[in-house]
Amino acid sequence: MARATTPRRKAFNTALAWAVGLVIFFPILWIVVLSFKTEGDAIRPPLEVLFDAAWTVESYGVVQERSNYVKHFSNSVIIALGSTVLGLLVAVPAAWSMAFVPSRRTKDILMWMLSTKMLPAVGVLYPIYLIFIKLGLLDTRTGLVIVLMLINLPIIVWMLYTYFREIPGEILEAARMDGAGLREEILYVLTPMAVPGIASTLLLNVILAWNEAFWTLNLTAANAGPLTAFIASYSSPEGLFYAKLSAASTMAIAPILILGWFSQRQLVRGLTFGAVK
């Protein structure tokens, strides 16, 4: 029997949740506030910034004049979506094999794949950099799509494997008895049943690829630089221009924040898929 929650306890939990949410969201809020201030006001004490400093869009105008935001934005979209779609094309058959044709080594393979995420990225930067130079992939969107797909592939496989394991194997056996081949089984039976899980996997990996900074800063220059490189261009040896850096950061994170806001229901549904029997 569920334990009743008192009004005082419910109020405390609500206040605590709002406090934690505010702490997590405050850095983003402060970046947005600073983006509407001048460089002189941006370095003033916080209370003066909020109540005494004038609001202006000057920093956004300077950022638009100095940088090609549309180019960086399109690079981010192509790289994030391309790496995610390519990862799904590889991960769906792999997760299907592990979920429905298991072997004694399945758990070991999954753990090995996950362990690759624990490797410091800088440990493989040099060989990947040399490979990119040899293949002509340096500062190209194709190269970044491949790299981001590979570094996020373990997460995609793990998530899809978890969702596929919740689908009864008898359904796939019935499809085979009706004459469905492997291709039809994956495309017309398995994939539609796992749409919530696949959608949440897609959304999560788009966010991971969009926010990736290490590889995008080290493997790109002027041509294929996404929005992470766009933000980094406002950190110079002469010092940090807080207002302009905040404006560039706001312009970079706004699209993914909007995407996350409108897709949060689908993301939560997918992440909890199969959690309740």
What is the DSSP code (8-state) at residue 235?
E
Q: Which residues contact 229 (CB under 8 A, 6 or more apart)?
A: 72, 216, 217, 220
What is the DSSP code (8-state) at residue 120?
-
Long-range pairs of 85-88 with CB within 8 A, sequence gap ≥ 24: 86/145, 86/146, 86/149, 87/149, 87/152, 87/153, 87/156, 87/205, 88/156, 88/198, 88/201, 88/202
Domains, the chain, ranges and CATH? 7-60 (no CATH), 68-271 (1.10.3720.10)
176's torsion region: left (phi>0), alpha (psi -120 to 50) or beta?
alpha
If you compute the radius of gyration of the chain from its CA atoms, what whole number of angstroms results? 23
Alpha carbon separation from 19 to 15, 22, 31, 34 (Å, rounded): 6, 5, 19, 22
Give me the tens of pLDDT residue by residue for the chain, a chain 277 residues long. Answer: 445 678 888 888 889 999 998 898 888 888 998 899 888 888 888 777 777 778 888 889 888 888 889 999 999 999 999 999 999 999 988 888 888 877 788 888 888 888 888 888 888 888 999 999 999 999 999 999 999 999 999 989 988 888 888 888 778 778 878 777 777 877 788 878 888 788 888 888 998 899 998 999 899 887 888 999 888 887 765 556 788 889 999 999 998 888 878 777 766 665 665 544 4
Tell me what pLDDT residue 132 has: 92
